[in-house]
Amino acid sequence: MTEKSSSLISFVKEKNMLWEKCKEIESDIVEMRRELHQIPELGFYLPKTRAYVIRKLEEIGVPYILSEKDSSIVATMKCARPGKTLAFRADMDALPIQEETGLSFASLHNSCMHACGHDAHTAMLLAALQILYPHKEELSGEIRFLFQTAEELAKGAAILIEEGALKGVDAIFGMHIGSILDKSIPSGTMACIPGAVMASYDRFILEVKGNGCHASTPEKGVDPINIAAHIILALQTINAREIAGTDAAVLTMGLIRGGELYNAIPSTVHIEGTTRALKEEVRQKLAKRIGEVAKCTAEAFGGSVDYTMDWGAPPLINDKEMTEFAKDAIQDIFKEEIVLYRESPSMIGEDFSLYLQKIPGAFLFLSSANPKKGTDKPHHHAKFDVDEDVLWKGSASFVAIAEKFLGR
């Protein structure tokens, strides 16, 4: 065997093992996840998280730009030759929850917790970048790594889009860890779902107005508590009688606040709720009818209502071609464990849907539900945790998609 052929065999072997390098740095991924888990932050302003990500990007040596509107970051990896542009996204924000996991690396911030896996998402994407960047000479095109804020508010993706993060991008991929689809899916399994994957999620606010008075003389006022009760019951008929049984839709009221004394009728009652839908037309109908039903009901009892719809994110619809592409790219990693999951999508929402309205892409799901490790708690639970043994698979999936998309 000549020196040249030996070198070629060595190169081919190295070339075929790039995603496997994520397994080699598994302990680094776990460490990053734990460090991020200790510093959860809410919404748009994530100073500690941003500083952490910046430090890691500078260690890798990749150039990045900072948003002027929030704490989001876009790192750019330009490859050796011209080609397509690929984007990956990780969300970084946490939730206003007091952690009850008892972990040695539990949140250091009171009433704030990574209870949705965003610490893992950020760590997995940083690790993928760490593996890919030294091999940029072997790839064509460009990769943008989007580190996003405010996913829990359904507002962060819109900021990155407005600032041009998707300009020139051909496809985008994201990932969610946990048991978001079904906790019976074994930990370490990837779910690739074409079409409708997650629901729209919006928040509505009803300020019911009456006329306060003493409880002993209700005829002298207009009772907003009574009005609110009728509105709540009436709104449930929208799903029951106005939405087709074949169209998934949810209308839930989770907050009601009114009154201060047992013997006094207040002047206002505050109601907040959420709607979910898998079709945009159903989403819009829910919003329209909430306002109409609430207004007419309030007027029937002599009151009024101020209605506000706080628009969140549209339904998340995966591009079929990109979903199949992702499945094929990560087949070598998951082998027989790969799942092309075709059951009912989740009614949970995700503002990754805003990216998919602009360009093709797919949002994937990595199960970390392991009852033996106690990592099968639902998202947004005070004891939520992830199976850290699967983190490297998330990073490896990003790397495998990049290799296939950019022609390594």
The first and second tokens of residue 189, run together, are 């399994």
How far apart are the C-alpha atoms of 159 and 150, rounded to whole Å? 10
Name the region of 325 (left: φ>0; alpha: ψ -120 to 50; beta: rest): alpha
Residue 112's CB is within 10 A of a number of other CB atoms, namely 19
CA distances from 194 to 69, 85, 173, 227, 401 (A): 33, 22, 13, 43, 16
118 is in an annotated binding site: yes
152 is in an annotated binding site: yes
Q: Which residues pair with 143 in a beta bridge?
A: 77, 86
DSSP state of 339: B
Output the DSSP codes for 345-400.
PEEEE-TTHHHHHHS-EEEEEEE---GGGT--PPTT-TT----GGGHHHHHHHHHH
* CA angle in degrees (0–180, nearest 5) for 158-310-304: 165
Q: 60 by DSSP, 3-state: which?
A: helix
What b/e readout covers 235-274, taking b as 16+ CB neighbours within 10 angstroms? Answer: beebbeeebeeeebbbbebeebebbeeeeebbbbbebbbb
Those residues with Cβ within 8 angstroms of residue 135's Cβ, 6 or more apart along the chain or in another chain: 18, 408
How far apart are the C-alpha atoms of 277 and 286, rounded to whole Å? 9
How far apart are the C-alpha atoms of 397 and 323, rounded to whole Å? 13
The first and second tokens of residue 207, run together, are 């300020």
270 is in an annotated binding site: no
DSSP state of 242: H
Binding residues: 116, 118, 152, 176, 380
Known binding positions for Mn(2+)? 116, 118, 152, 176, 380
